[in-house]
Amino acid sequence: MNKNSSNIMALAPNTSNKRETVCIFGTGDFGRALGHKMIQSGYRVVFGSRNPQTSSLIPKDAEVLSHAEAAQKAAIIIIAIQRQHYNFLIPLAEILHGKVLVDVSNNLKINEYPESNAEYLAQLVPGAKVVKAFNTVSAWALQSGTLDASRQVFVCGDDMKAKQMVMDIVRALGLTPSDQGSLLAAQEIENYPLQLFPMWKFPILFSLGLTAFFFFYCLIRDVIYPYVYENTDFSFFIAISIPNRICPVLALILLALVYLPGVLAAIIQLYRGTKYHRFPDWLDKWMLCRKQLGLVALAFASLHVLYTLVIPIRYFVRWKMSSQIISQALNNKTAPLNNTYAWLSDSYVALGILGYFLFVLLGITSLPSVSNNVNWREFRFVQSKLGYVTLILCTAHTLVYGGNRFLSPSSYRWYLPNAYMLSLIVPCIVLVVKFVLIFPCLDKPLTRIRQGWERNPQYSE
Amino acid sequence: MNKNSSNIMALAPNTSNKRETVCIFGTGDFGRALGHKMIQSGYRVVFGSRNPQTSSLIPKDAEVLSHAEAAQKAAIIIIAIQRQHYNFLIPLAEILHGKVLVDVSNNLKINEYPESNAEYLAQLVPGAKVVKAFNTVSAWALQSGTLDASRQVFVCGDDMKAKQMVMDIVRALGLTPSDQGSLLAAQEIENYPLQLFPMWKFPILFSLGLTAFFFFYCLIRDVIYPYVYENTDFSFFIAISIPNRICPVLALILLALVYLPGVLAAIIQLYRGTKYHRFPDWLDKWMLCRKQLGLVALAFASLHVLYTLVIPIRYFVRWKMSSQIISQALNNKTAPLNNTYAWLSDSYVALGILGYFLFVLLGITSLPSVSNNVNWREFRFVQSKLGYVTLILCTAHTLVYGGNRFLSPSSYRWYLPNAYMLSLIVPCIVLVVKFVLIFPCLDKPLTRIRQGWERNPQYSE
Amino acid sequence: MNKNSSNIMALAPNTSNKRETVCIFGTGDFGRALGHKMIQSGYRVVFGSRNPQTSSLIPKDAEVLSHAEAAQKAAIIIIAIQRQHYNFLIPLAEILHGKVLVDVSNNLKINEYPESNAEYLAQLVPGAKVVKAFNTVSAWALQSGTLDASRQVFVCGDDMKAKQMVMDIVRALGLTPSDQGSLLAAQEIENYPLQLFPMWKFPILFSLGLTAFFFFYCLIRDVIYPYVYENTDFSFFIAISIPNRICPVLALILLALVYLPGVLAAIIQLYRGTKYHRFPDWLDKWMLCRKQLGLVALAFASLHVLYTLVIPIRYFVRWKMSSQIISQALNNKTAPLNNTYAWLSDSYVALGILGYFLFVLLGITSLPSVSNNVNWREFRFVQSKLGYVTLILCTAHTLVYGGNRFLSPSSYRWYLPNAYMLSLIVPCIVLVVKFVLIFPCLDKPLTRIRQGWERNPQYSE
């Protein structure tokens, strides 16, 4: 029943005796785990080892022979050995001639060696057909069956047929092979499992820095200032009120920073009169992490929405409201409906809702499976057109929220303006410059430059 | 570091001298961009041009030769030239014999020519192996490295080996090849980048039309009517109150319209007694855009949720509540808890929450990566069973919201019923007809018809 | 226009006369539907039938011949016949020699026969190249064109070239072929369309059971108890208040149950001193459905969020609040701000928001398209590190919500503690044990065991 209750294409145990023999060099943890899984999937497995004696660790249905003997029993040999021991294969070159060698190794650091382990193996045993595979799967995952992340196995190799054979094994083990082309791709495949969200590092560190800055900024304005001047303890603002000031500020700034590099690139291209000169390195890197910046901004916006929606549930808010009502009732007076307030309040909330709604749409379109299903024109339409509309709505949301408080002196405590005022600087700059760039006198030459036209051809590399 | 910090499988620059030579005919923008990217990925690039002189625009590591000379240097020739100039290739037919010609061209309009550019190319140079590829990638994206949307490259061709060679180049450039089969697929591949959400046009235009209608409808009832009769200015209702009437109405109507065509199709099939007669064209088109209709409905439902949850934050609502409380306090009276109201209020909210929750589940299942992982039986279960439960819950939500106001004359202003009453028409029809169709006397023949049985065989085409 | 308005890669009708001939054995519903679709896509179709007479049901452009005549007209023969009639093919073996036979059959039960239908077919006609395909597509879907779920066609077969031919047909019909390797995969492919969310059964049934238990538990405490002792009718609590007690309780318990098996596995491994002994079966199954358990927990958490956010909109809550304010106003007293309450209220809400936010992040990462784009290291970081932070935040949210009510006797009605107290048992156990396991004296041996080290080698199988 285990088989049926799994949602993967695992193979039935009753196909055991139909599969070919596979040889595994090396009886370390990964070799044994792979061997175990292969036996489960119906392969005959022969281990090649320096000390060919069946230890209790080896799966009991497997044979253990010397390297040379084991290699002769199979057409496919999995090299589950560390790179530094590869040279023991040189004397076996004759036996390995024409065999498919599967390199499953990983390194400890990115780009540790000048050439990939698989290419090194191909140099050592020139007569063999080397295929890189399985390095993205962990031994623990293979044995425990919890293969949620690592179902994808990157395969590359120069020999089409050898690659096909390895991909069939991958499928038989219930994994998904992904053909990455020739052995030249091996270096990237070996670097892949060592990465830890490389594209996210900068956006997350940057936003953490900004968060820290605005946290202390708001702490001074909203907690320390009233404590010093009014001797009231609003320290509990740290839990919700201050986060709910920081989140919208960061969401707006980060969203504007997604569109700033595009605007800068346009200015640089207009100034240079060509698109064939490379952008400065920082701009290139910035442009490459725009998606991540945008998603971090969306995370802050979502937190802002949650923090805002819980406002009426908070004890402090309910307390404040009931004391106001009671004092009004005791003073026997009722305030009439202020139409301007009603307009301001409703329109800033409505702008925020629409902005957030479009922001979520942008986020959904950046999901890999969705963005793979739209073409370039559609992607540009969503990320550029809809993106600018989102930025305009969110900026307007903040401006209307400010209302007529921008000029009121009570908004400045110790000469510090409200945090939301600071957050408006970058988006306003982006929107103004973008607005200028839309004018035909600038848009036309820019379009021509992006189609390959050059003002001063000597600029190009 | 650029390489490691990127999340794509790009190839290292140090593999430069290992790749084969590729020839590019045409030194236009796309040809140069592709050449540039190929040189970065380690290929030798030779341009073929009418004026074989290295201009400053050409990547500096590339050679520029005449077409004939360039073609002889490579096994793969990329034709980066517009279709109308293809006939210059006819005199080169002998040199191009056996070569792989990669057609990268696009047209300006969908189905501009009777045959695809790639098929036209294959007719012109019958001895060559034509492969269609790269047309979905933009030159700008290739150069700027921002390949978020266009990572997928559709490849088709009649020669398997030629296709493999091109797919290897695609992978080497850090893109994802997608094999689309033989050259017959070229027309679709050429049409693909010209589309702009073709399936979304009708649902979006239709819902915009409905939105406009209900906006003016509510404007008359909720703003103009009180202004005329009570001389009160509720113009600020435009920001939140009226959108929050329109959104649920549209969500419900559109959701019902997702299930209406299925019901109509069943009636037509029962009437005709066969499934082998084609449906009318409008029904076919309607059925094809049900997913999009449903997602637009979900968008309106989400807006409705947001607009509803901000209600207690709005100034107008807080003002109204406090004036009510104050007037009660001043009149020294407290209303007792009305159990019926409590039941109505809580159950309409609860129905809405459950309906929205299932609606979001339906939306998640329609994400491409999720729906690719369910089989037909599971998809039908979710989209049909769960979908009808959602429709029932949302209709019940609206009915309970109405409560006993349906018959109250105050709900009719200028003889116009409340908008939510109008929204109930379509879903109620769908649910009633579906309920009738579930009866065995109708369900049994319908099931048999859908399995291929026919009442009057003469009907079939 | 039908073609352009579709977002699939369907082929144009004007390519009709370019395709090869395909033979279909069997004129049943699926055979006719497939034939119809193939004719639309430009293939010539010949039906093979016991009674070779064109019936009105057969698509009118197709020929109907005897089996032997039809087979001779095409290189590909689709066997659209039920398995029990396959033996009529034995006398045709000579004609079928070298042909590609496509097995499209499905069974009625999972693992109905010892070998798959396709393998059985290959045994019956050893000279033919058998390919399994099309079994995941329904006839109804083929004809109506509503192929949302079933676009993916699993293909397997031992002959590479035959498989390629079939995959080209799949693509030509606008479907996506997915190569599943050799014919050994046929059994899994045949089982696939019969499944109905096999991995979800246990988590959903389990949580329904728990829901029922907590529903009656809360019913007794919150509705029956006040009815008996205070004679007040709170039956309307069934709509929102009680669901909003059940949902957080279930979300927390299920989330803790996601991490419990990992902790149990660590204890078992530490006790045994090896990882090479299999876990008990129930633990294996439990570990395989952790993702589903987590997603059900997320569903309950989302419902909890919605139920909580609508609190201020409920009639009962507004009534209670205004009666409190009015009674305060009439008694001419105002409560001062209680700083401890403000801290408790704000921090429990803030913890809940942050916990839910991380929970949603975990949910997004488990979307197939997202988890396919992260490597094993990244997936472990998110699901393990972030997962535990989520569990800690949610547990803290519940603890702070309890505040100082844990010891108050009013929390115990009929000796029954509040439901949230029960919900804390499992998460607290998981967190305490996990905390103990982090200590170096336990973490070090565990890490070594997971890398393959063994304390008592005799334990291994």
For residues C151 and C232, state if they share a domain: no
- What does DSSP say about strands C76-79 and A63-65: parallel, antiparallel, or unpaired? unpaired
CA A437 → CA A241, A431, C246, C377, distances in Å? Answer: 38, 10, 55, 43
DSSP letters spanning B147-205: -TTTTEEEEEES-HHHHHHHHHHHHHTT-EEEE--SGGGHHHHHHGGG-S-GGGHHHHH
Inter-residue contact A15 to C182 (CB < 8 Å): no
pLDDT along chain A (461 residues), means of 10: 34 47 88 86 86 71 88 92 88 90 88 89 92 84 62 84 88 81 85 85 94 94 89 89 94 95 92 80 87 95 96 91 87 82 91 96 88 81 91 94 75 81 93 94 87 61 36
Inter-residue contact A22 to A76 (CB < 8 Å): yes
Total count of domains within chain B: 2
- Phi/psi at C155 (nearest 5 deg)? -125, 130
Is the pLDDT assigned to residue C461 strictly greater than 70? Answer: no
Range of the domain at B116: 21-194
Q: Closest-CA residue in chain B for A157? A: B168
CA B42 → CA A187, B19, B393, distances in Å? Answer: 14, 6, 60
Q: Closest-CA residue in chain B for C57? A: B460
DSSP letters spanning C311-345: GGGSHHHHHHHHHHHHHHHHTT--PPP-HHHHHHH
- Tell whether C14 is covered by a domain: no
Inter-residue contact A219 to A235 (CB < 8 Å): no
Of C346, C378, C450, the CB nearest to A140: C450
For residues A185 and A224, state if they share a domain: no
- Please give the pLDDT value at position B79: 93
- Please give the pLDDT value at position A5: 34
Task: Pick out chain B residues at pLDDT < 50.
Answer: 1-17, 458-461
More confident residue, B6 or C183: C183
For residues B181 and B273, state if they share a domain: no
Inter-residue contact C158 to C129 (CB < 8 Å): yes
For residues C164 and C112, state if they share a domain: yes
- What does DSSP say about strands C152-157 and C129-132: parallel, antiparallel, or unpaired? antiparallel
CB contact under 8 A, A345 and B32: no
For residues B147 and B285, state if they share a domain: no
User: Running DSSP on this structure, what letter comes out for residue B251?
Assistant: H
Shortest distance between the Cα of C361 and any Cα of chain A, in A, equals 9
Largest Cα–Cα distance in chain B? 103
- Tell whether B348 is covered by a domain: yes
- Please give the pLDDT value at position B129: 93
- Please give the pLDDT value at position B144: 64
**pLDDT tens for residues C360-388?**
999 998 888 888 778 878 888 888 899 99
More confident residue, C351 or C275: C351
Best CA proximity match to A323, nearest among B328, C334, B319: C334
- CA angle B248/B251/B256 to nearest 5° reads 125
**pLDDT tens for residues C212-267?**
999 999 999 889 998 998 888 888 999 999 999 999 999 999 999 999 999 999 99
For residues C126 and C213, state if they share a domain: no
- Residues belonging to chain B: 461
Of A10, A28, A149, the CB nearest to C371: A149
Of A290, A375, A380, the CB nearest to B136: A375
- Please give the pLDDT value at position A20: 84
- Please give the pLDDT value at position A17: 41
**Section C327-334 average pLDDT:** 81
- Tell whether A459 is covered by a domain: no
Of C144, C299, C319, the CB nearest to B287: C144
Inter-residue contact A368 to B337 (CB < 8 Å): no
CB contact under 8 A, B349 and C150: no
- Please give the pLDDT value at position C448: 85
CB contact under 8 A, B195 and A378: yes
For residues B140 and B251, state if they share a domain: no
Strand partners, B101: B77, B130
User: Running DSSP on this structure, what letter comes out for residue A255?
Assistant: H
Inter-residue contact B421 to B406 (CB < 8 Å): yes
Is the pLDDT assigned to residue C3 strictly greater than 60? Answer: no
Is the pLDDT assigned to residue C150 strictly greater than 70? Answer: no
Q: How many C-beta atoms surround the C-beta of residue B42 within 10 A?
A: 18
Amino acid at A380: R
Shortest distance between the Cα of B429 and any Cα of chain A, in A, equals 31
CB contact under 8 A, A345 and B146: no
- Please give the pLDDT value at position A151: 73
Residue at which a domain ends, from A194, A221, A252: A194
The CATH number of residue B130's host domain is 3.40.50.720
Q: How many C-beta atoms surround the C-beta of residue C400 within 10 A?
A: 18
Best CA proximity match to B254, nearest among B312, B207, B186: B207
Spatial neighbors of B167 by CB under 8 A, at least 6 apart, are A181, B155, B177, B179
Inter-residue contact A45 to A62 (CB < 8 Å): yes
What is the spatial distance between Cα C263 and Cα C205, in angstroms, rounded to a whole number? 23
Full-prediction pTM beyond 0.90?
Answer: no
For residues B117 and B266, state if they share a domain: no
What is the complex's ipTM, to 2 decimals?
0.84
Residue at which a domain ends, from B194, B226, B247: B194
Inter-residue contact A322 to C325 (CB < 8 Å): yes
- Please give the pLDDT value at position A13: 37
Q: Closest-CA residue in chain B for A454? A: B57
Q: Which residues of A touch B143 (CB under 8 A)?
A: 275
- Tell whether B4 is covered by a domain: no
For residues C219 and C179, state if they share a domain: no
Inter-residue contact C276 to C461 (CB < 8 Å): yes
What is the spatial distance between Cα C64 and Cα C41, in angstroms, rounded to a whole number? 19
Best CA proximity match to B171, nearest among B192, B153, B148, B150: B153
What is the spatial distance between Cα A307 and Cα A243, in angstroms, rounded to a whole number? 8
* Residue of B236, B244, B305, B370 for testing the chain A interface, max A β-carbons within 10 Å: B236
**pLDDT tens for residues C109-136?**
888 888 899 999 999 998 899 999 998 8
Q: Which residues of C touch B282 (CB under 8 A)?
A: none
What is the spatial distance between Cα A199 and Cα A205, in angstroms, rounded to a whole number? 11
Q: Which subunits have 3 or more CB–CB pairs within 8 Å of chain A?
A: B, C
CB contact under 8 A, C319 and B332: no
CA B119 → CA B51, B155, B186, C40, distances in Å? Answer: 27, 13, 7, 20
- Tell whether B460 is covered by a domain: no
Inter-residue contact A251 to A301 (CB < 8 Å): yes
Strand partners, C103: C79, C132
- Please give the pLDDT value at position C16: 36
Best CA proximity match to A170, nearest among A183, A180, A184: A180
- Tell whether A9 is covered by a domain: no
What is the spatial distance between Cα C151 and Cα A283, in angstroms, rounded to a whole number? 41
- Phi/psi at A197 (nearest 5 deg)? 45, 55
Q: Average model confidence (pLDDT) for chain C?
A: 85
- Tell whether B2 is covered by a domain: no
More confident residue, C61 or C191: C191
Residue at which a domain ends, from A175, A194, A213: A194
- Phi/psi at B347 (nearest 5 deg)? -75, -30
What letters, b where the CB count within 10 A reaches 16 and e where it falls short, cover B106-115? bbeeebeeee
Number of CB pairs < 8 Å for B and C?
207
What is the spatial distance between Cα C382 and Cα C362, in angstroms, rounded to a whole number? 7
Torsion of CA C197, C198, C202, C207, to 10 degrees: 0
DSSP letters spanning A298-346: HHHHHHHHHHHHTGGGSHHHHHHHHHHHHHHHHTT--PPP-HHHHHHHH
Best CA proximity match to C113, nearest among C182, C30, C194: C194
For residues C420 and C437, state if they share a domain: yes
What is the spatial distance between Cα A263 and Cα A259, in angstroms, rounded to a whole number? 7
Is the pLDDT assigned to residue C163 strictly greater than 70? Answer: yes
User: Running DSSP on this structure, what letter comes out for residue C460?
Assistant: -
For residues A170 and A204, state if they share a domain: no
Helix (H) and strand (E) counts for chain C? 20, 8
CB contact under 8 A, A452 and B29: yes
Inter-residue contact C188 to B414 (CB < 8 Å): no
- Tell whether A456 is covered by a domain: no
The angle that helices A243-272 and A387-402 make with each other, rounded to 10 degrees, is 130
Q: Closest-CA residue in chain B for C302? A: B357
For residues A401 and A306, state if they share a domain: yes
Among A425-439, B411-425, C63-77, C194-208, top mean pLDDT goes to: A425-439
Spatial neighbors of C373 by CB under 8 A, at least 6 apart, are A368, B7
Residue A432 CB-half CA count within 13 A: 6
